[in-house]
Structure 1
Amino acid sequence: MIDQFLVDWTSEHPASRPLQLPPGTAVVPPGGRASDELRAYLTGVIAFIDGHRVQMCALQSIFAALHDDEGNAAAYGSETDRAVLGHLEEILRRGQQSGEFRAFDTLVMAAAIQRPLERLPLLLRSEPNLDLRRYADEVVTLFDLATRAT
């Protein structure tokens, strides 16, 4: 569901790429600046959550309940987490190689980037009127400053 949303998101934000392409979708190689792709990923995931608040809160509850149920296909486990972080690490490495991003541990930075996205449905439970456009702007600014080469 989110991957198809991010495929559609690319028409407005060409730098974004979904983690996994839905069947029958053409592979789009990374292009442009890594910072643009990171921004598109952040804003795309937050926009998806904004449009699916109830579903994402329910999904997070399911993931939390199944967290320790190894082998359950519905559980968000280490393989899924590694795939998500690997996607982000690829963007970060590309930015480092081009000189766009400073030197840092890509796994640590990828985890730091992903966690505010994963925890957003929980935040929405305590702050249901949170302006997610403003949230996206702040998260984008935060990671622009954290990754930018000086």
Structure 2
Amino acid sequence: MGRTFTESGRRAQIVQVAIEVVAEQGYAKASFSRIAKQAGLSSTGMISYHFAGKDDLMHEVVAEVTRVTGAFMAPRVGAAEGARARLRAFVEANVELLAVWPRHLKALIEVLPNLGGDDPATVGYNASLQLLMDGQEQAVRQAQEAGEFREFDPRLMLVALRGAVDAVVMRWVGDPAFDVTAAGRELADIFDRATRAEP
């Protein structure tokens, strides 16, 4: 039997508050009691009704962050015309996530290492990144064949791009005042110059 509208709403509320608590307090301090208090729940039993334990709740946190970030990025990349524009949109949207969904990104950074490498949520998240990387590699090869990108190792370039975005994220973690919008533009310029075909 499916959840009622009220149950689904309560479950979503708990996930949102969990994201806030993890982002503000860190994974270790994100107890059911702290989440219940911030959510205005009378007891932790309301959380236990919806989630089997902390790991179960954190799996939903990962799923929600993945859903929100994907919904933010997909239309921006999809609206871009041409390989160079799509690359720029991908880089800028990735970095812009830090300004638009800061708590979600901080929560993800906290949760994934604490779940462990063999946890289903971590495995699933890494698998989705791998699928994304495979699709991007194919798109890069097609752009090379069409003459939009110069010749280079597509996987190596994508790994470098992922590392550069991650470095921006870690700088932002250490310095929340860091101008991520400007960083996104600069990073997009760097990878545009690195990939575009010579005139």
Please state which band the TM-score falls in when normalised by the shorter chain: 0.7 to 0.9
Instruction: Tell me the equivalent position of 2:49.
Output: none
Find the aligned partners of 2:88 and 2:116 in 1 and give their Cα distance.
Answer: 29
Structure with the larger helix share: 2
Q: What is the Cα deviation at residue 8 of structure 1? A: 4.4
Partner of 1:88: helix, strand, or coil?
Answer: helix
Find the aligned partners of 2:188 and 2:102 in 1 and give their Cα distance.
Answer: 20
Kindly indicate whether residue 69 of structure 2 is the aligned counterpart of residue 2 of structure 1. yes
Q: 1:133 aligns with which of 175, 178, 181?
A: 181
% of aligned pairs identical? 23
Q: Give the alignment's TM-score, normalised by structure 2.
A: 0.58
Contact kept? 2:95, 2:169, Cα under 8 Å = no
Q: Which moved more, 1:100-109 or 1:54-63?
A: 54-63
Instruction: Tell me the equivalent position of 1:115.
Output: 163
Change (3 A) 1:119 1:73: farther
Kindly indicate whether residue 63 of structure 2 is the aligned counterpart of residue 14 of structure 1. no
Change (3 A) 1:9 1:101: closer
2:70 alignment partner AA: D
Contact kept? 2:172, 2:180, Cα under 8 Å = no
Find the aligned partners of 2:194 and 2:176 in 1 and give their Cα distance.
Answer: 28
Find the aligned partners of 2:136 and 2:163 in 1 and give their Cα distance.
Answer: 12
State the structure with more CA Rg.
Answer: 2
1:60 alignment partner AA: I
Contact kept? 1:49, 1:121, Cα under 8 Å = yes
Question: Which blocks of at least 5 consecutive residues in structure 2 are unaligned?
Answer: 1-67
Instruction: Tell me the equivalent position of 1:89.
Output: 137
Find the aligned partners of 1:109 and 1:60 in 2 and give their Cα distance.
Answer: 23
Contact kept? 1:96, 1:102, Cα under 8 Å = yes
Q: How many residue pairs end up in the alignment?
A: 130
Change (3 A) 1:98 1:53: same
Q: Give the alignment's TM-score, normalised by structure 1.
A: 0.75
Kindly indicate whether residue 106 of structure 2 is the aligned counterpart of residue 57 of structure 1. yes
Q: Deviations over 1:80-99 (max 9, x none)?
A: 33112123213311220111
Q: Deviations over 1:34-79 (max 9, x none)?
A: 11111111111222222112220221121122342x1x22215642
Find the aligned partners of 1:5 and 1:107 in 2 and give their Cα distance.
Answer: 24
Contact kept? 1:37, 1:91, Cα under 8 Å = no
Contact kept? 1:124, 1:130, Cα under 8 Å = yes
1:3-82 mapped onto 2 (5 Å cutoff): 3-9=70-76, 14-15=79-80, 32-68=81-117, 70=118, 72-75=119-122, 78-82=126-130
Q: What is the Cα deviation at residue 140 of structure 1? A: 0.5
Question: Which blocks of at least 5 consecutive residues in structure 1 are unaligned?
Answer: 16-31
